[in-house]
Structure 1
């Protein structure tokens, strides 16, 4: 059996590592590059929580200025396939973040930064205008904890999803 040729678009999209001109700043999210096994706990609209296992892959993209991820959780696959693009903005020192899930459809636009405790915090809005906050905490070379919060305008943040990740 012959291996099909690599897709030319994917060759242009992927990068071997961070842009050397900004490598240190890019490692805020770049340290996540690789494959992670996850336990994903998600609260559905009716308030019921469900837990599933899956994987979360992070990689360098677009000249090493973007960290892109794909989250795959087979039990939620029909409901939650999606990808996140995290672009380091060299003019502001912040991260411009977009998450999309075409099947839902769903969209988040956020700004990310260090949280001051070794993790990251991302804040913004979803497609319906609800405020969002995503956090990466307890980040080590082999594990991290991710939490997703949402809030109605003027409301308090409520946890809707959390994942524990272990590097494969």
Structure 2
């Protein structure tokens, strides 16, 4: 199954557009901080791997941060939609369980922004900023339907 899932690179017909997230393909060390339900921030180290999938039309990742007592791996599928020029994004973590559905695009400043909802219907926003070939910053925000976005997670990644 895995050999059918993986791809060697981006779909050649859309290679340029695929590089918005395709530039993240590889393995990253992360420094992660997460706001827990008790209102306290906790930090942990982890690993984030990005790869090409499904004929090079998808960038899939697996995020693993073992030190967050009870936090289990999750995966994101980022599919480039050739009809809209946007990215259809789904993140799942079956063990939690949790799921996010988002739409992604360039933020116009060299990064990416993804917006949508989580499995409980809360609005979500994830951003990739300060993106270079060797590092990036990721932030996760959540909001009540009529509320402002609040930061709940932040990761700094460095390429291995």
Please report the TM-score for the alignment, with normalisation by the length of structure 1: 0.94
Residues 87-113 of structure 1: CA deviation (Å, up to 9, x unaligned): 000000000000000011000000000
In structure 2, the residue matched to 1:34 is: 26
Q: How many residues are matched?
A: 160
Moved over 3 A (4+): none
In structure 2, the residue matched to 1:128 is: 120
In structure 2, the residue matched to 1:92 is: 84
Stretches of structure 1 lacking an aligned partner (at least 5 in a row): 1-8
Stretches of structure 2 lacking an aligned partner (at least 5 in a row): none
Is residue 61 from structure 1 mapped to residue 53 from structure 2 by the alignment?
Answer: yes
1:85-164 equivalent positions in 2, closer than 5 A = 85-164=77-156
Residues 34-73 of structure 1: CA deviation (Å, up to 9, x unaligned): 0000000000011110000011000000000000000011
Moved more, 136-145 or 80-89: 80-89
Cα distance between partner residues in 1 of 2:72 and 2:113? 21
The Cα of 1:139 is off from its aligned counterpart by 0.2
RMSD: 0.8
Please report the TM-score for the alignment, with normalisation by the length of structure 2: 0.98
1:20-31 equivalent positions in 2, closer than 5 A = 20-31=12-23
